[in-house]
Amino acid sequence: MNLKPSIKTLPICLLAVALMALAAVTTAKAQTNLQPQIVLRPLTAVDRTTYGLPSSTELSGGLSTVGVGTAVYLEVEVNTNFPASNITNVTWSLIAKPGGSAAFLTNSPLGTNVPIYEPSDRLAYQVAGQLAGRTFGRMLLRPDIAGSALVADDYTVEATIYTTTGTTNVTQTITAGTYLGDYVCSLCHGGSVGVTNTWVPWSQTLHAQIFSGEIDGLIVGPLGDSVQTTMSQSCLQCHTTGYSVNTNVADGGFSALAAQYGWTIPTVLTNSNWASMQTNYPYVAMLANVQCESCHGPGSQHASLFGNTNSPNWPGVSVNYTSGDCNQCHDDATHHPYGTEWLHSVHAVATTIPVGKANCVGCHTGYGFIARIESITNNVSSLTNYDSITTNDNLTYLPINCQTCHEPHGITIPTNNPHMIRALVSVTLIDGTVVTNAGEGLLCMECHQSHLAASSYATVSTRNDPMGPQADMLEGVNGYTYGLVLPSSDHASISNTCVACHMQIIASTDPAFLYAGSHTFNVDWAGTATNPPEDLVAACQVCHGSTLTSFNFPVEDFDGAGVTEGVQTQVQTLLNQLAELLPGGENNVISNNISPSASWTAPQLEAAYNYLFVQDDGSLGVHNTAYAVALLQASIANLTGIPYSGPLTSSEIAYYDWQTNYFADLSVPQAAPDYVNNASGIPNWMMANLGLNPFSNAEAATNGVIYFNGKNIVNGATNTIAIYTAAEIDFNTQTNFTYTIQGISALSGGIWQNVSTNIPGTGGTISYLTPTRNNAQMFFRVITNP
């Protein structure tokens, strides 16, 4: 029975093999949930260190086109839903190889402690046949000769998986070749024969200059590293093309040619070394730097085909979008840590739920995002020549990895941007806002934006979450504003916006190194038993000062608690307060979730949108404190009937809290501030200020003064407190200043009198209460004293 799956029938969660290396499957008995595949596992420098492999273990990008004599790490993976105990054995065969080849399969050096490479693959796949401490599901192949380019003359490996219910065969093809150098690639890919010009933009990248710059002692690296003074043998493995620690390779790569012609690393790095090498060791120099074949594999078969797409071996070179292709060099902490960092990011395990839906893959898979960016920019790159990635019909899963955000050939917009970012073009948000000044954060905003418009949320039939409205929040747009002009913080003007904070570079000595900042995109770290948690606030301190040590920094009271608390604490309190006003009330707060439906009223849906908008932003106000607070306060005010024209005061929010204790429905007239619910004639606003039940009765004193003892209203009894009319004056302060409050009974004339003097500034808001019972009216002002 033939169970050969198409890409679309494989598990939506993960297809992380090279596009041209999809495994074929046959079976002796149906294994409906086994879903096996042979993967060519990448192997990186961090793998060698982490899993205790010898330093002589060869690195691999997981390509299906490899150099003659190069190690290929084969791995059978099956769905995690299939019980591992039901797999009884895995056997391997080399069922096809070029004529004259003596290659054979040997045991893989990767033990049971070495996991599947892609973090996202680990969620859906397991290595088959890990029994008794041995991994039967892994083998190693070392091709010994290159096949003919004109016939189907490759290496085909077959694995047979034995289970308690039957057997399944799965195959994988590997092409072997020799390295030619970028000059040969340029003959076609330099734009002279109608093929997309990828060579010229590549030649302007740091990849194309990394070795030649180092050997000349120049400043190299994306961050402007220090002048190169020494070069070690280990550098060559990544900074040249076709370098192998195995001295027996016959692939025509840099290491083989260097040994053949006797080239060695110069003892002094100076600006004449590269020219000298080109003159005296031209064949070795042809394989210097990170070239086309570093990522696509040796090109001898591809070049021999001369564009013959009808050949059974076409294209004879790998086109690989998985992380291993880049991480064979960039998963090498501490000096090449970007891939290592990415492996600890959420992007490495981006949600797979929307995969298979054409309207979702543009952000939730690497393939879909590349296609969408190219359609936006009309950026026709070499991808067009090899597959259908430039259309949205590729619905298979690929994590958001290196190639998703970076165009490896340097075909970028604008041209030659600093980090080969695919495109830095204006972003149009769903409400029509066009963002142009976000710097490198523009690429982030392509996906991290709301897919719902606030203006239509209350009228649409499907009410999902805004999901990732970070761009909208940062720009202070697309919230439901109730027709008001709401305040917005200034974070949108930060140079490079998202990147400036989420990709901070931290020292390799920092315990959070590799787990926060840079390509982890994490701005905080949970810490360990021996190291405390860490917020990456260095970018914040540039504007906010060195005293800021946490994202939950203390700010003025805006949630009605009556005390100065952290901004994130207060935004969460406002979220809880709003959740209690929506259908579900207290259960919403407990579950931290609301479920809008068609039965909700328009005001409830409008408030629900703002709740989800702030919640899904994920920063709890840090991205845009003023806008997040204003959206929540305006929603609370609209549902409670509190007039709102700007940020609510502490007393207004406190009144709302009091309302929710005594009224199940805050929209009824009895919940309004001026409504009297007792025989004493005391309105709700006064009962709220006293912390009293609005329905309790007491006798009011004839002089207009209300006396209470504890929370019991009395009439002139001993041990009482008298509550008179008073004015509360709130004003912002700065440290190192003092303030004087002055009052006057009429603005038409008279002399301002000091009400209070020498109030020291705190850096926050000060509230001052002064009696007014003896005045028909009073005006106040605050004077700053240097």
SS3 annotation, 225-280: CCCCCCCCHHHHHHHECCCCCCCCCCCCCHHHHHHHHCCCCCCCCCCCHHHHHHHH
Query: H-helix or E-strand containing 366?
Result: helix 366-377
Mean pLDDT, the chain, rounded, equals 85
pLDDT (average), residues 448-458: 89
Q: Are strands 524-525 and 753-760 parallel, antiparallel or unpaired?
A: unpaired
Evaluate whether 76 touches 262 at the Cβ level (below 8 Å).
no
- pLDDT-wise least confident of 198-207, 336-345, 454-463: 454-463
| Number of neighbouring beta carbons within 10 Å of residue 733 | 18
- How is 640-693 classified by DSSP, letter by letter? HT---SSSPPHHHHHHHHHHHHH-S-TTSGGGSTT-B-STT--BHHHHHHHT--
Burial 479-515 (b: 16+ CB within 10 A, else e): bbbbeeebebbebbebebbbbbbbbbebeeeeebbbb
Higher pLDDT, 758 or 382: 758
Evaluate whether 564 touches 772 at the Cβ level (below 8 Å).
no
Partners of 421 in beta bridges = 406
- Scanning the structure block, which residue is given the tokens 């990415």? 342
The two structure tokens encoding residue 88: 């009884």
CA 179, CA 316: separation in Å to the nearest integer?
A: 12
Note the pLDDT of residue 544. Answer: 87
Is it the case that residue 5 has pLDDT exceeding 50?
A: no
- How is 33-102 classified by DSSP, letter by letter? TT--EEEE--B-HHHHHHTT--TTSPPB---SEEETT--EEEEEEEETTS-GGGEEEEEEEEEE--TT--
- C-alpha distances in angstroms, 169 versus 76, 88, 688? 10, 14, 75
Evaluate whether 402 touches 331 at the Cβ level (below 8 Å).
no
Reduce the DSSP state of residue 555 to 3 states and report it: strand
In eight-state DSSP terms, residue 727 is E
Confidence class for position 219, pLDDT limits 50, 70, 90? low
Confidence class for position 131, pLDDT limits 50, 70, 90? low
- How is 88-145 classified by DSSP, letter by letter? EEEEEEEEE--TT----EEE-S--TTSPPSSTTGGGTEEETTEETTEETTEEEE---S
Note the pLDDT of residue 371. Answer: 86
| Number of neighbouring beta carbons within 10 Å of residue 195 | 15
Q: What is the pLDDT of residues 641-652, one digit of tens each?
A: 888 888 887 777
Is it the case that residue 381 has pLDDT exceeding 50?
A: no
Partners of 135 in beta bridges = 130
Higher pLDDT, 58 or 196: 58
CA 507, CA 470: separation in Å to the nearest integer?
A: 27
Percentage of the chain modeled with pLDDT above 90: 53
The two structure tokens encoding residue 744: 């006057």
Backbone CA torsion sign across 338, 340, 343, 345: negative
Partners of 24 in beta bridges = 171
Confidence class for position 604, pLDDT limits 50, 70, 90? very high
Reduce the DSSP state of residue 453 to 3 states and report it: coil
Q: What is the pLDDT of residues 153-180, one digit of tens each?
A: 899 999 999 999 899 999 999 999 999 9
In eight-state DSSP terms, residue 147 is P
In eight-state DSSP terms, residue 543 is H
Percentage of the chain modeled with pLDDT above 70: 86
Partners of 740 in beta bridges = 783
Is it the case that residue 13 has pLDDT exceeding 60?
A: no
CA 52, CA 345: separation in Å to the nearest integer?
A: 24
Confidence class for position 16, pLDDT limits 50, 70, 90? very low
Confidence class for position 356, pLDDT limits 50, 70, 90? low
Confidence class for position 399, pLDDT limits 50, 70, 90? very high
Higher pLDDT, 477 or 370: 477
Higher pLDDT, 784 or 24: 784
Note the pLDDT of residue 723. Answer: 60
Q: How far is CA 462 from the centre of its chain?
A: 26
pLDDT (average), residues 738-755: 85
Confidence class for position 415, pLDDT limits 50, 70, 90? confident
Note the pLDDT of residue 765. Answer: 84
Confidence class for position 386, pLDDT limits 50, 70, 90? very low
The two structure tokens encoding residue 665: 């429905």
Confidence class for position 660, pLDDT limits 50, 70, 90? confident
Is it the case that residue 462 has pLDDT exceeding 70?
A: no
Note the pLDDT of residue 713. Answer: 58
CA 291, CA 758: separation in Å to the nearest integer?
A: 71
Is it the case that residue 65 has pLDDT exceeding 80?
A: yes
Confidence class for position 499, pLDDT limits 50, 70, 90? very high
Query: H-helix or E-strand containing 728?
Result: strand 726-732
pLDDT (average), residues 171-191: 94
Confidence class for position 275, pLDDT limits 50, 70, 90? very high
- pLDDT-wise least confident of 107-116, 466-475, 658-667: 658-667
- pLDDT-wise least confident of 5-19, 283-297, 596-610: 5-19
Domain ranges of the chain: 7-177, 724-785
Higher pLDDT, 221 or 658: 658
Q: Select the highest-mean-pLDDT range: 10-19, 544-553, 678-687.
A: 544-553
Partners of 241 in beta bridges = none
- pLDDT-wise least confident of 57-71, 208-222, 257-271, 403-417: 208-222
Q: Is 641 left (phi over 0), alpha (psi -120 to 50) or beta?
A: left
